[in-house]
Amino acid sequence: MTKLTLFGKFLIWRVKHIKDRQFILFLSIIVGIFSGIAAVLLKNLAHFTYEFVTDRFSFERGNFLYLLLPAIGIFLTVIFVKYFVRDDLGHGVSRILYAISKKSGLLRVHHTFSSMIASSLTIGFGGSVGLEAPIVLTGSAIGSNLARLFRLNYKTIILMIGCGSAGAVAGIFKAPIAGVVFTIEILMIELTLTTLIPLLISALTGALIAWLLMGSSVIFFYSIETPFIINDIPFYIILGLTSGFASLYFSRAIMMVEGKFDLLKSPFTRILVGGIILGLLIYMFPSLYGEGYGALMEILKGNGESVINQSLFGSFIDNQWMFLFLFLLLIFLKAIATASTSGAGGVGGIFAPSLFMGGLIGFFTGRFINTVSVFSVSESNFSLVGMAGVMAGVMHAPLTAIFLIAEITGGYELFPPLIITATIAYLTTKYFEPHSLYSKKLAESGELITHNKDKAVLSLMKADKLIETNFLTVHLNDSLGDLVRVIAKSTRNIFPVVDDEYNFIGIVFLDKIRDIIFRPELYDSVHVSDLMFQPEITIDIHESMEDIATKFQNTDKYNVAVLNDGKYVGFISRARVFSVYRKMLKDFSYD
């Protein structure tokens, strides 16, 4: 008999003495603490890397170091990932969604630290991406690995992934409500009281840990100076439209540029090309260096001129129209810089870039209105609301955008324009692009968990696990006598017909030949080819479970043949599909 370890004894004691619901609440606190600490560590690691790299030069126009540093950072990131991590870190949030959909919530242990190191190298050396996706992956990995350590079931693992995500977002932004809403909107965690309380606990814990360790220096904090004026509503509607189209451009540009980088097979070619593009862009506009929160703070203070002044084109800011054109150019180039960073092999997310672009588009829209009309709007407020608009469009998460901006400004004074702009931006983007950058590839391959519980459960089911292979095959040229001998050995009433290469030809039903199987005089004269039927439908082994379920729903078939490139594999039965579905639905539900 195997001797139990101390931890094994603890697991048994826990099951006997601590109810699952109580243990989940305790674990949500632990996940929140570690996620909050991870957020603080990542922010400091990125900051120290940035300080180490830029300590010996100033952010002045024309500094040639801008041409070299991004490529160095991406090179170090690629080396770290390739030779130390030995795994594809990819887009952090997409990685989490894939783990939830297809890996039973499994996030490898290295995800608790690898993306923190990689993103710090990328961003500290100038990569134009954000820290938020890496910290969300880190927090989610903490939740996943702790839940698996304590041998918890699938739905609890997913809940702990959500707790880690909520704690991480809350910690890095000091915004617990936004952390919870992000988890529900982006990671598709089902909203019930059973899930909401642990998410709230983790988010609050993560925010408190970050606040205790870093104070108000978490990302940024901005106090609204100009109150919302109801007469500005038409202009916020315009901002919603401009933010929506800016979001659409950002999403399409990221996908297009990253697609071009995918065509470059050599990682060092990608580093070289991406480093050159990013270096040139930062050389022209130093505000594209790193996350860009410094430049964003200047914009929020109404000092957009300083962002252009430090660029190569600073001498043109006296001309208002030239200034607006340069601001528009900076908005256009931000998406290129972000995509070049990730496409070349850098590690980071689109969270900060979408906020940066939103601040730019908000300031641009406000300044444009003030320039061409007799009305006067608050450019700072427009920058804040624009941040929510672009985030809502890019991430398809309007509630996250609304609550995040509300929390980082310390109140809800801008709640009406935030709702108007974020909603219009989201609807505008979604009309042209049904899926966010996080979920597009997974959705196209049918691997995305959604808020639709039926589709979510079907996406978790695997067709190859449902195939029954105890159906005895018969050959196309077999006689009735050969078929009778196969029937005598079989426990099923369906017999797939194959040729010499095991290609599927048809089906023989026992019920259809019952009247002749006891007539020996026909055993040699009647052949399988005379008795078989062509099935109305078949299933390809690569089909999604949603398509398979639809086939059963639209027909009266109880067993359907499964093929792989035309070759017979087995059968999937209606009873087995819906039996497994009901079981998984029960396991998946938090009610």
Q: Which CATH topology does 457-588 take?
A: CBS-domain (3.10.580)
Taking residues 421-427, report their average pLDDT. 96
pLDDT-based confidence at 424, cuts 50/70/90? very high
Phi-psi region of 215 (alpha: psi -120 to 50; beta: other; left: phi over 0): left
pLDDT confidence of 1, banded at 50, 70, 90? very low
Residue 482 scores a pLDDT above 80: yes
**What residues contact residue 193 under an 8 Å CB cut-off, 6+ apart?**
none
**pTM of the predicted structure, to 2 decimals:** 0.80
Arithmetic mean of pLDDT over the chain? 86
- CA distance linking residue 444 with residue 404, whole number of Å: 29
Whole-number Å distance between alpha carbons of 39 and 355: 18
Same CATH topology for 6-217 and 230-451: the answer is yes
Between strands 559-564 and 567-573, the pairing is antiparallel
Candidates 124, 123, 121, 160; CA nearest to 144 is 160
The total of other beta-carbon atoms located within 10 Å of residue 211's CB is: 17
Q: What pLDDT does residue 346 have?
A: 92
CATH tag, 6-217:
1.10.3080.10
Q: 53 pLDDT band (50/70/90 cuts)?
A: confident
What is the pLDDT at residue 220? 59
Burial (0-12, 13-18, 19+ Cβ within 10 Å), 516: middle
Instruction: Residue 189: name the closest of 156, 142, 146, 151 by CA.
Output: 156
Q: State phi, psi for 228 to the nearest 5 degrees.
A: -70, 135
In the three-class reduction of DSSP (H, G, I as helix; E, B as strand; rest coil), residue 188 is classed as: coil
Residues forming a β-bridge with 508 = 495
Domain boundaries, the chain: 6-217, 230-451, 457-588
pLDDT band per the 50, 70, 90 thresholds, residue 455:
low
Distance CA 248, CA 271 (A): 27
Helix or strand (DSSP H, E) at 344: helix 320-344
Query: Any idea which fold 230-451 has?
Result: Clc chloride channel (1.10.3080)
CA 223 – CA 524 distance, rounded (Å): 92
Residue type, 528: V
CB of 324 closer than 8 Å to CB of 308: no
